[in-house]
Amino acid sequence: MSNTVPKFYKAESPLTELINRKKNILSNKEIGIVISDHSELGQVNIRGDAEDDIFLDTMREIVGHELPTQPNTVTLGEQFIILWLGENEWLIITPENGERELITLLKNKMSGIFASFTDVSNSQCIIRVTGFHVRNVLAKGCSLDLHPRSFDVGKCAQSLIAAVGVTIRQVDSTPSFELIVRRSLAEHLVNWLYDAAQNIIN
């Protein structure tokens, strides 16, 4: 038996079995809401000086497009989605296993630049909720105004849903939203979403 430990290991999402078990519940209600798990995507937290041109230029070179500098906005490139989390903090969402290459690039190119970066892929889950009634479902547990006049594609925010801290991003105008949540709280949030969605037409 080999004692070799794989060089890279990504923990299975705690949501896989739960969503497979419940996937028919909402379709039976005919309310057009789909909940899916996208925790295979990589996530890297970046901190740096948003007023440092060298930092911004280097990040543009690495990710292929600008970091968002306006509060609660998102920029999308060919490979990466970047969410503004704070004045000097961002979350980069990568393709599956893309966080490995990104971390390597950051280590090589950010040497000597005031910045920090952390792979948070295994500590957070990405849940997507899509369908006509999604805003009504989220409104049951979230105080944010998610009406299109206030929150639309290209926007993100940090808030609470059912007392769980999440980062919310609107993906498209279906509408679809991504909820980024700590892995330890993901199952609780998904169960709440199913319950809220089932009751939306009652």
Can you give the residue ranges of every domain in the chain?
Answer: 16-39+122-198, 41-119
Two structure tokens written together for 127: 């849940």
Q: Answer for the pair 84, 11: CB distance below 8 angstroms, yes or no.
A: no
For residue 24, what pLDDT is reported?
67
41-119 CATH fold = Alpha-Beta Plaits (3.30.70)
CB neighbour burial string for 47-84, b if at least 16 within 10 angstroms, e if fewer: bbebeeeebbebbeebbeeebbeeebebbeeeebbbbb
Most confident of 3-12, 128-137, 175-184: 175-184
Once rounded to an integer, what is the mean pLDDT over residues 171-189? Answer: 95
For residue 73, what pLDDT is reported?
98
For residue 111, what pLDDT is reported?
92
Q: What is the pLDDT of residues 49-87, one digit of tens each?
A: 999 999 999 999 999 999 999 999 999 999 999 999 999
For residue 197, what pLDDT is reported?
87
Two structure tokens written together for 14: 């705690």
Q: At what angle do helices 183-198 and 16-29 cross, to 10 degrees?
A: 10
Query: How far is residue 100's CA from residue 75's CA, in Å, rounded to a whole number?
Result: 21
The CATH number assigned to the domain with range 16-39+122-198 reads: 3.30.1360.120
Q: What is the pLDDT of residues 124-175, one digit of tens each?
A: 999 999 998 899 999 999 999 999 999 999 999 999 999 999 999 999 999 9
User: What's the residue count for the chain?
Assistant: 202
Query: How far is residue 105's CA from residue 99's CA, in Å, rounded to a whole number?
Result: 10
Q: What is the pLDDT of residues 14-44, one digit of tens each?
A: 687 787 777 666 655 566 788 999 989 999 9
For residue 4, what pLDDT is reported?
46
Once rounded to an integer, what is the mean pLDDT over residues 116-125? Answer: 95
For residue 26, what pLDDT is reported?
65
